[in-house]
With several copies, the nearest count.
Chain A
Amino acid sequence: MTKYHVEAHRVTKRFGPTTALDDAGIAIADGETHALVGRNGAGKSTLVSILTGLQRPDEGEVRFSGLAAPALADRDAWRRQVACVYQRSTIIPALTVAENLFLNRQAGRGPIRWGPLRKRAADLLERYGVAVDARALAGDLTVEQRQLVEIARALSMGARFIILDEPTAQLDGPAIQRLFERMRALRAEGVTMMYISHHLEEVYEICQSVTVFRDARHVVTAPVAELPHDALVAAMTGEAGGVYRSRRGAGPGGGTARVVLAARELSLAGKYRDISLSVHSGEIVGFAGSGSSGKIGLAETLVGLHRPDTGTVTVNDTPVRDVPSALGAGLGFVPQDRHREGFVPLLSIAENATMTIAHKLGRHGIVAPSRQRARAVRLIGDLDIKTEGPHQPVADLSGGNAQKVVMARALADDPSALVVINPTAGVDVKAKQALLGAVEEAAERGAGAVLVSDELDDLRICDRVLVMFHGRIVKEVPRGWSDHQLVAAMEGVDA
């Protein structure tokens, strides 16, 4: 009989009317890397919070190496059992990177010696290939840098069991590969891991077995070899499915169609230089680039979040001065960090999804609740958002479903120009299809889209991909590129 390092038995957890886990369980053998997959809202993160002692299950129990889990109040005991990269950031912005790495273990009983601590932090960052200064304030880091710090912290805790809840959702290719190297090394040392991701190819790359949750229930556990891709998707969704394939052929040629989004000689110190760009109606333009290539900064300028030092942006020939003017000119966009700029957590899905089109939901500044609800119900259906209904606060949604709400907002106005940044971060396979399909549909209706993504798969729907490196566009590749070709350009070694 296999020796299980971690077991969760018949766990049930309810949040008000929602049942997040329904008599579900997991058993992870000693030393294996075990994948947990399931659609957005399947209950994965809820299980994580139960396995790390942050929440008490309504029913069921957790065991470590056959022994009952520590009492909920005994945080130290839990921390000895398990380290975790949570889906929601647990970085404290006002503290330095070094302190975040060694939070609550800066020293023993005695005083903290900051010099050595910084040194240890720098070593740790170096070991994990994270190029940030240990003395910087965590709040000044980019989203992916924070994620890397978070990963480095969890892996360095010395726990024999590590949970990673969607660690790669905000990472680009090379960073993911570095993470996997570390995970392999840890596994070689006998560390047990639970790995959650919506990138199924990663499951095959790094995990030995996989558990699937669907609608809060356990569906299947099997070695990854016994569950090929299509079977895994079928288990997750309850229906047959496959990899997302672009529905469209080549987009319209550059010359004929109307230009919906244009940038002229944009520069912004420290971010990008001399960018010119025309996006035509019906066209999807991708942006690729490694971390800090400036692609995010550029995209945020296109939607009016930054003011460029030089140059102009126009949407449908209307100059963009700020966000309202961009939206007014017919732009929709998905920001990079959904928690920071994507939604207002306490407000309902209906309200968040219609926030940019409130002026269209009634006259004289009135927002008619019935029309708002109707619009939201449609968007919830279109994007397949798992929720109690349009009135539910976005704060109560699972990560992927919250991302869909942000997408819903971008699409709410049938925009003629669309700028989406990492739109599929943290969404499940089916949802990814829905989101990318939504971008394609918008393009088919005649919108021009800019898609900025760290995921090569997303970029496949693009008619052309612009590769950025150190703040400049270094290459333009038409549809039909190979992964290798694009990655080489992104790394700056032009093939």
Chain B
Amino acid sequence: MTSVALRPGVKLARFRDLTLVPVIVLLLVVGAFANPIFLTAGNLTNVLQQQSALALVVLAEALILISGKFDLSLESIVGMAPAVAVMLVVPAASNGFGTELPAALAIPLVLLVGAAVGAFNGFLIVRFQLSAFIVTLAMLIVVHGLHLGWSEGKSLFKVPESILFLGSTTFVGLPVSVWFVIILFALAIVVLRYFRLGRALYAIGGNIDAARAAGIRVDRVLWGVFILGGTLAALAGLLETGRLGGISANQGVGMIFMVFAAAVIGGVSMDGGKGTIFGALTGVLVIGLVENILSLVGVAPEWRQLIYGMIILVSLIISRVVGGKAQD
């Protein structure tokens, strides 16, 4: 009988995660030529810090995409979760609700709000069997609507110290937010590679009926993924709030496009069951480096968008050529 060629198949599958590596190398070379500052530790650290919120949302979205679902509302959680938590804590004079909960609760509250939104999404999608795309599109509007409504569109300038701390402290030379990203990505990579729960996401995304037949508690896992996704987005919002020192009514708005771009150019499939967290991370890096180089080079503002889009397109083509496989 047969004996399908072993080596190439295995290697190719792993390779899929690395198709962006040549793009990253290329960007590093271009950046180095464009501006001597580019390759300094300081600048690269900045890139990492600037992308840390995006990275966490990409992590959340990658988990959800691998499970074969979809969540657009994450971008609204990035703004709304910290805003609501802060409003619960700060006095009414600083645009708070007037509840003035203890400041120590601020961070847990942020995460709780994110988890709650994720749980609600999960409820509608898993239990009520509504389309994930359209539910989370509606929730994108609803969650941002709550943010706008409660804050009356005002920015929050008074933010508890604990939150600012996250955005401004460094630890062993790297900003705390970068450590968050490193640890959470490492954790996710390990869980998705070496734990049954992680493999269950691939099984569910790959063939939900087969996963159910294999005894995976599909509904419970999916619901958990939505809750985790909401929590990670809230954490991203927390880091972003710390970095920016305040919460504008626009925080997170429009971010979801970049989130999908990073995940998908990083090899995570929109069809579910395919891609890795490491791949998604390379996607984030590409986006971060492109933005940084464009800033450093100082392209005329009106042409920046075009060049940005073109670089993404070219990255995509390079990764397609390197990967050798049709994308989906």
> CB within 8 Å of B: which residues of A?
16-17, 52, 54, 73, 75-76, 78-79, 84, 86, 88-96, 99, 103-107, 111-112, 114, 130-133, 135-137, 140-142, 145, 290-292, 303, 305, 323-324, 326-328, 333, 335, 340-347, 351, 355-356, 358-359, 362, 365-369, 377, 380-381, 384-392, 409
Among candidates A344, A366, A381, residue contacting B273 with C-beta atoms closer than 8 Å: A344
Q: Using Cβ atoms and an 8 Å threshold, which residues of chain A touch B2?
A: 131-132, 142, 145, 291-292, 377, 380-381, 385-389
Say whether B1 faces chain A, with CB atoms less than 8 Å apart.
Answer: yes
Q: Using Cβ atoms and an 8 Å threshold, which residues of chain B touch A366?
A: 194-196
- How many A-B Cβ pairs are below 8 Å? 210
Question: Bound state CA distance, A327 and B211, in angstroms?
Answer: 13
Say whether B10 faces chain A, with CB atoms less than 8 Å apart.
Answer: yes
Question: Bound state CA distance, A303 and B6, in angstroms?
Answer: 30
Chain A contact residues: over half helix, strand or loop, or mixed? loop
Q: Using Cβ atoms and an 8 Å threshold, which residues of chain A touch B195?
A: 107, 111-112, 365-367
What is the minimal beta-carbon distance from A135 to any residue of chain B, in angstroms? 5
Q: Say yes or no: A17-B4 contact (C-beta < 8 A), given A54-B213, A92-B202.
A: yes
Question: Bound state CA distance, A88 and B195, in angstroms?
Answer: 27
Contact A347 B6 (CB under 8 A): no
Q: Say yes or no: A140-B4 contact (C-beta < 8 A), given A95-B203, A107-B196, A366-B195.
A: yes
Contact A335 B213 (CB under 8 A): yes
Contact A104 B273 (CB under 8 A): no
Contact B199 A343 (CB under 8 A): no
Contact A92 B1 (CB under 8 A): no
Question: Per-residue CB proximity of B1-24 to A under 8 Å, as 1/0?
Answer: 111111011101100000000000
| Residues of chain B in range 193-236 having any CB-CB distance to chain A below 8 Å | 193-197, 199-200, 202-203, 206-207, 209-217
Q: Using Cβ atoms and an 8 Å threshold, which residues of chain A touch B13?
A: 96, 137, 391
**Chain B interface, number of residues (Cβ within 8 angstroms):** 34
Considering the complex, give the chain B residue whose CB is closest to the CB of A291.
Answer: B1
Contact B6 A391 (CB under 8 A): yes
Contact A92 B10 (CB under 8 A): no
Contact B203 A386 (CB under 8 A): no
Contact B196 A92 (CB under 8 A): no
Question: Bound state CA distance, A90 and B237, in angstroms?
Answer: 40
Q: Say yes or no: A344-B1 contact (C-beta < 8 A), given A17-B9, A137-B9, A409-B214.
A: no
Say whether B274 faces chain A, with CB atoms less than 8 Å apart.
Answer: yes
Among candidates B8, B193, B210, B273, residue contacting A17 with C-beta atoms closer than 8 Å: B8
Question: Bound state CA distance, A285 and B4, in angstroms?
Answer: 29
Q: Using Cβ atoms and an 8 Å threshold, which residues of chain B touch A131?
A: 1-3
Q: Using Cβ atoms and an 8 Å threshold, which residues of chain A touch B209?
A: 88, 90, 340-341
Considering the complex, give the chain A residue whose CB is closest to the CB of B208.
Answer: A344
Contact B6 A346 (CB under 8 A): no
What is the minimal beta-carbon distance from B254 to any residue of chain A, in angstroms? 31
Considering the complex, give the chain A residue whose CB is closest to the CB of B200.
Answer: A104
Known: A142-B2, A388-B9, A409-B214. 10 other contacts (CB 8 A): A17-B9, A95-B203, A132-B3, A135-B6, A145-B2, A291-B1, A292-B2, A326-B215, A333-B213, A380-B2
Q: Using Cβ atoms and an 8 Å threshold, which residues of chain B touch A341?
A: 207, 209-210, 212-213
Contact A391 B210 (CB under 8 A): no
* 14 contacting pairs across A/B (C-beta < 8 A): A78-B215, A86-B213, A95-B199, A106-B196, A131-B3, A133-B3, A133-B4, A142-B2, A323-B213, A341-B209, A344-B203, A347-B203, A355-B211, A367-B195
Question: Bound state CA distance, A158 and B114, in angstroms?
Answer: 43
Contact B5 A388 (CB under 8 A): yes
Q: Say yes or no: A103-B6 contact (C-beta < 8 A), given A131-B1, A341-B209, A367-B195.
A: no
Question: Bound state CA distance, A323 and B219, in angstroms?
Answer: 13
What is the minimal beta-carbon distance from B16 to any residue of chain A, in angstroms? 10
What is the minimal beta-carbon distance from B158 to any residue of chain A, in angstroms? 43
Question: Bound state CA distance, A135 and B190, in angstroms?
Answer: 19
What is the minimal beta-carbon distance from A212 to any residue of chain B, in angstroms? 18
> CB within 8 Å of A: which residues of B?
1-6, 8-10, 12-13, 190, 193-197, 199-200, 202-203, 206-207, 209-217, 273-274
Q: Using Cβ atoms and an 8 Å threshold, which residues of chain A touch B200?
A: 104, 358
Question: Bound state CA distance, A438 and B208, in angstroms?
Answer: 27
Contact A91 B210 (CB under 8 A): yes
Contact B194 A358 (CB under 8 A): no
Q: Using Cβ atoms and an 8 Å threshold, which residues of chain B touch A137?
A: 9, 13
Among candidates A104, A327, A347, A358, residue contacting B206 with C-beta atoms closer than 8 Å: A347
What is the minimal beta-carbon distance from A20 to any residue of chain B, in angstroms? 13
Contact A92 B206 (CB under 8 A): yes
Q: Using Cβ atoms and an 8 Å threshold, which residues of chain A touch B274?
A: 94, 346
Contact A351 B199 (CB under 8 A): yes
What is the minimal beta-carbon distance from A470 to any residue of chain B, in angstroms? 11
Among candidates B5, B10, B207, B215, residue contacting A324 with C-beta atoms closer than 8 Å: B215
Contact A92 B207 (CB under 8 A): yes
Contact A17 B207 (CB under 8 A): no
Q: Using Cβ atoms and an 8 Å threshold, which residues of chain A touch B12?
A: 16
Q: Using Cβ atoms and an 8 Å threshold, which residues of chain A touch B203?
A: 92, 95, 103-104, 344, 347, 351, 355
What is the minimal beta-carbon distance from B269 to any residue of chain A, in angstroms? 8
What is the minimal beta-carbon distance from A345 to any residue of chain B, in angstroms? 7
Contact B216 A75 (CB under 8 A): yes
Which residue, of B190, B197, B199, has the highest number of chain A Cβ atoms within 10 A?
B199
Considering the complex, give the chain A residue whose CB is closest to the CB of B196.
Answer: A358
Contact A344 B5 (CB under 8 A): no
Question: Bound state CA distance, A377 and B196, in angstroms?
Answer: 19
What is the minimal beta-carbon distance from A415 to any residue of chain B, in angstroms? 12
Contact B1 A389 (CB under 8 A): no
Question: Bound state CA distance, A106 and B207, in angstroms?
Answer: 17
Q: Using Cβ atoms and an 8 Å threshold, which residues of chain B touch A323?
A: 212-215
Q: Using Cβ atoms and an 8 Å threshold, which residues of chain B touch A326?
A: 215
Contact B10 A391 (CB under 8 A): yes
Q: Using Cβ atoms and an 8 Å threshold, which residues of chain B touch A95?
A: 199, 202-203, 206, 273
Question: Bound state CA distance, A145 and B1, in angstroms?
Answer: 10
Contact A386 B1 (CB under 8 A): yes
Contact B213 A344 (CB under 8 A): no
Contact B212 A75 (CB under 8 A): yes
Question: Bound state CA distance, A94 and B274, in angstroms?
Answer: 7
Considering the complex, give the chain A residue whose CB is closest to the CB of B274.
Answer: A94
Q: Using Cβ atoms and an 8 Å threshold, which residues of chain B touch A84?
A: 213
What is the minimal beta-carbon distance from A236 to any residue of chain B, in angstroms? 14
Question: Bound state CA distance, A73 and B8, in angstroms?
Answer: 32
Among candidates A103, A141, A390, A391, residue contacting B214 with C-beta atoms closer than 8 Å: A103
